[in-house]
Structure 1
């Protein structure tokens, strides 16, 4: 079992994608990378904590290769925009990969090199050591599955899931 901690805009988007991914055993939304000891959603959204919205994605690598988990990450957001994803603007929405050891760092850097060919502009995804991970409030866990009727889910998340399905259908549930 492996766990990657990834940020790519609003954590609801990554959570929705990985909850539907074959071989993923758990997805936990949270915050990391900042200077506040006990961040919460409101404080992180203020942009003043330094934390990013992230997900901790645990997966069984005998079912899904780590390269596929990382390639899905690069399909699910625009890694070429600094501190923003669409209408979500601020450092809390940065594209960032938090590694736990040298092997993860190398896997993340290789994924950036591999996926650069899919983007016209340079990938600006930050790769940095994982500091303390803070679990987000319960309302943010598995948000899309609980609220598919919400406007954000329909307008922002649904197109991202559709794009991921086009490129990685064999790994995603309907």
Structure 2
């Protein structure tokens, strides 16, 4: 009679762990091999292997992290003409409304530090162009990061991928 009492086994379907308490063989539905968090049982090789959808699940999670980074970056003031300017949706909408009207309501615009700065309509166009350019850089970096993550082949690589600007580049 086989004696595996005290050994830890894992269910091949659920990965549930249990200690053997009775005499006899290890059931065919269990194995002594410990699974990883993203493993599935492979009957052909009689071993655990990476679940093919696991890498995709981790990539999607990293893509969501990248989207959060993008959203934060889009709220980061842009530096233009020696001042920092708000770039959030409300600020962009205010600028667009003035540009569409073609008339500056005042002879200044308020910067991100809440200081009034002299501003002409042409200068406001230049400011808006700077905001759009920053948005383009953010979008380009986001697409690059997502492509990089999609090309990774291990969960460890995906988890270790640094989200953000490369060290030598800032927005």
- TM-score between the two structures when normalised by the length of structure 2: 0.24
Instruction: Please say which structure displays the higher CA radius of gyration.
Output: 2
User: Which structure carries more strand by proportion?
Assistant: 1
| Structure number with higher relative contact order (C-alpha < 8 Å, ≥ 6 residues apart) | 1
- TM-score between the two structures when normalised by the length of structure 1: 0.24
